[in-house]
Amino acid sequence: MLLQRFLIRLLTMLITLFGVAVVVFVVIRVAPGDPIAMMLPPGATDDDIARLRALYGLDKTIVQQFFIWLSGVVRGDFGTSISLRQDVLGLVFNRLPATLELAIVALIMAVTLGGTTAILGARERGTAVEAGIDIASGAALSIPDFLWGLVLILLFGVLVPIFDISGRVSPQLDLPFVTQFYFFESLMRLRFDLTWDLLKHMLMPAVALALPLAAIISQLLKQSLKEVLDLDYVVLARVKGFSETQVILREALKNASLPTLTLVGVQFTFLIGGTVIVERLFSYEGLGNMAIDAVINRDLPLIQGIVLVFALLFVLINLAVDMMYALLNPRLRHG
């Protein structure tokens, strides 16, 4: 039964990815713009155009191009980037860790900030503290991440320049890393000098990404907590003499966090999508920044590769959320 569910889930994932691949392939080929026309220098002739088209395989029909590309993807060959002239998969996996690190740090910040303010708001419900939290989360939610980025750049990049405005790490540093997960690797190696440098670059983009998500988490979790706090078993805990904080943390939080967990999963996929603009703003060396370059350069193989990897990430995150949800909710586990 479990195996059957797993296989169905796997099949659904593959169909989703295939659908994404087809849509992306068709859309970017019918969209305006031609990579060969963009690369034509003054004096190029029709022969030169034909030669370049053949070189990049663009002289074939869309259907032929799709199946050539798909057969390559199945074999792990995503093609060669037109603008970077390197293996697409290698490029994507080189950049993905930077984006994942940024998104994970932003998620941790969002959950910590959102969770803390939700608990505080629920504990202090009906008071000025709750009202203050509501106002702050409303403001955080109404300002988009890239605008938070600009505000942070002005505050901590220009006025009080304690963080770095651009890049992922200081160019002057020697980087001993063997993986592309610089931040996590620096922690594992106890190289806190590098960790601090990486944080100086990562904090502003991570906060810009985290603030709107923290606000959503805060609002939803607080609402759930408030509902759970009125239930009988929580009232019983109070009668037993637990403090309000103990009641929330020990009794209410686990049940109240289920809807928030689902939301966090969905929002995490948006968070990864949000890295595209924020990485650009901070010149952060991630997959999102590379995606924009790929679009500007009409680098078809690279766009396809990046979108497919993003789609795979989304599918895997959704799967992980489902599994965690089942883990936390026994009724689903046994259903």
Partner 1 sequence: MKINRRELLGYSAAALGVAAIGLPKIAKAAAGELTIAYNVNLPSWDPTTGPSAVNPTIQGLYQSVFDQIISQKPDLSFAPGLLTEWGWNDDRTKVTMTVREGVKWHDGSPFTPEDVVWSLQRAGDEKTGNPIQFVWKNVNNFKIDGNKITGDVVQFDPVYFKWMSFLTGYILPKAYYEKVGAEGFEKAPIGTGPYMVEKFERNAFLRLKANPNYWGGKPAFENVTIKFVTDAASRVAEIESGSSQVTLEIPYEEYDRLIAKDGLAGSIKNVSDIGMIFFNNKDAMLDKNVRQAAVMAVDKELLVKRLLRGYGQPIDTLETPEYAAYDPSIKVEHNPEKAKKLLAASGYSTKKPAKFTIQTTKGFKPKDYEMVQAIVGMWRKVGIEAEIEVYEIAKHYELRAAHKLAPAAFYNWGNSIGDPTTSTGFAMFGPSPHSSWKTDDLDAKIGPLWGEKDEAKRIAGWKAVDKYIAEEAYVLPLIQYAQPIVHSKKVNVVQHISGALLPALMTPA
Q: Is 49 in the site for partner 1 (CB under 8 A)?
A: yes
**What is the per-residue binding string for partner 1 in 287-326, x denoting contact by CB under 8 A?**
--xx-xx---xx----------------------------
Q: Which amino acid is at 132?
A: G
Q: Find the binder of partner 1 among 66, 146, 181, 325 (CB under 8 A).
A: 146
> What whole-number distance in Å separates Cα of residue 119 and Cα of residue 108?
16
For the four alpha carbons of 237, 238, 242 and 248, in that order, the dihedral sign comes to: positive
Q: Is 39 in the site for partner 1 (CB under 8 A)?
A: yes
Q: Find the binder of partner 1 among 2, 32, 126, 241 (CB under 8 A).
A: 32
> What whole-number distance in Å separates Cα of residue 244 and Cα of residue 226?
12
Q: Which stretch binds partner 1 (CB under 8 A): 160-168, 183-191, 229-237, 319-327?
A: 160-168
Q: Which is nearer to partner 1, 252 or 276 (CB)?
A: 276
Helices (H), 192-252: 192-228, 232-239, 244-246
Q: How far is the CB of 286 from partner 1 (least distance, A)?
A: 8
Q: Is 157 in the site for partner 1 (CB under 8 A)?
A: yes
β-bridge partners, 87: 80
Q: Which is nearer to partner 1, 123 or 168 (CB)?
A: 168
Q: How far is the CB of 249 from partner 1 (least distance, A)?
A: 40
Q: Which is nearer to partner 1, 116 or 166 (CB)?
A: 166
Q: Find the binder of partner 1 among 150, 188, 236, 332 (CB under 8 A).
A: 150
Those residues whose C-beta lies under 8 Å from the C-beta of residue 305, and which sit 6 or more positions away, are: 78, 79, 88, 89, 91, 92
Q: How many residues does the chain have?
A: 335
Q: Is 179 in the site for partner 1 (CB under 8 A)?
A: no
Both tokens assigned to 103 = 């998104």
Both tokens assigned to 305 = 């590769």
Q: Is 58 in the site for partner 1 (CB under 8 A)?
A: no
Q: Find the binder of partner 1 among 19, 51, 127, 176 (CB under 8 A).
A: 51
Q: Which is nearer to partner 1, 184 or 268 (CB)?
A: 184
- Tokens 């959320």 sit at which residue? 321
> What whole-number distance in Å separates Cα of residue 287 and Cα of residue 280?
10
Q: Find the binder of partner 1 among 26, 55, 68, 135 (CB under 8 A).
A: 55
Cα–Cα nearest to 137, from 191, 84, 211, 203: 211
Q: How far is CA 141 from CA 110, 204, 217, 261, in A?
A: 12, 17, 10, 18
Residues numbered 100-139 forming contacts with partner 1, rule: CB under 8 A: none
Query: Torsion-angle region of residue 283: left (phi > 0), alpha (psi -120 to 50) or beta?
Result: left
Q: Is 280 in the site for partner 1 (CB under 8 A)?
A: yes
Cα–Cα nearest to 213, from 106, 321, 99: 106
Q: Which stretch binds partner 1 (CB under 8 A): 188-196, 240-248, 277-285, 309-317?
A: 277-285
Q: How far is the CB of 68 from partner 1 (least distance, A)?
A: 19
Cα–Cα nearest to 287, from 147, 139, 168, 191: 168
Q: How far is the CB of 269 from partner 1 (least distance, A)?
A: 21
CB 239 within 8 A of CB 201: no
Residues lying near partner 1 in the complex (CB under 8 A) = 32-35, 37-49, 51-52, 55, 82-86, 94-95, 146-147, 150-151, 153-154, 157-159, 161, 164-169, 171-172, 280-283, 285, 289-290, 292-293, 297-298
